[in-house]
Amino acid sequence: MPVAYDELTSGHEFPPVNYVLDAGTVLAYAEAAGSEWREHVPPLAVAARAIASLGGLVSLPAGTIHVAQDFEFYRVVPVGARVTCSARVLRKLARGGVRLLTLEMDIKDESGAPVQKGRSTIVLPEA
């Protein structure tokens, strides 16, 4: 069940999310991005899927804006790879009518080897 902003604290760790980067997911990404099919998963497709996995972890009300994103890419993974995305609250800040939340993600393959690390910052409307 998604956690509401008010329930989160800095350092909060979400349960890991496991998923497969199957051919359908990669093809949908390639078509949306206007890129060609490859034998490996485009790094930004891995990032996009990781961000999508966070949607089920945090309750995001209407009006939420994704304002910043950065990733460190360590290596590519083949189509069909099973990965795990672990996320935690890096920063939670509320000032005036602005509520910011920065989440940090670590994405690893089945062997536990790092694939990517990323941070997403979102602005949530007042409750």
Tell me the C-alpha distance between 18 and 9, whole Å.
Answer: 23
CB-CB contact of 102 with 90 (8 Å)? yes
Which pLDDT tens digit goes with each residue over 20-73? 999 998 999 999 999 887 789 999 999 988 888 877 888 888 999 999 999 999
pLDDT digits (tens, 9 = 90+) for 57-71: 888 889 999 999 999
Q: Are 42 and 105 in contact (CB under 8 A)?
A: no
Q: pLDDT (tens digit, 9 = 90+) per residue, 71-122?
A: 999 999 999 999 999 999 999 999 888 899 999 999 999 999 999 999 999 9
Question: Identity (one letter) of the amino acid at 77?
Answer: V
In the prediction, which pLDDT does 104 show? 96
Q: What are all long-range contacts of 38-43, with beta carbons under 8 Å and residues at least 24 apart?
A: 38/79, 39/78, 39/79, 40/76, 40/77, 40/78, 40/79, 41/76, 41/77, 41/78, 41/79, 41/81, 43/71, 43/73, 43/76, 43/116
Instruction: Give the pLDDT of residue 91.
Output: 96
Q: What distance lies between CA 124 and its chain's CA centroid?
A: 17
Distance in angstroms (rounded) separating the CA atoms of residues 18 and 78: 16
Max CA-CA distance within the chain?
Answer: 48
Q: What's this model's pTM, rounded to 2 decimal places? A: 0.87
Domains assigned to the chain: 5-124 (3.10.129.10)
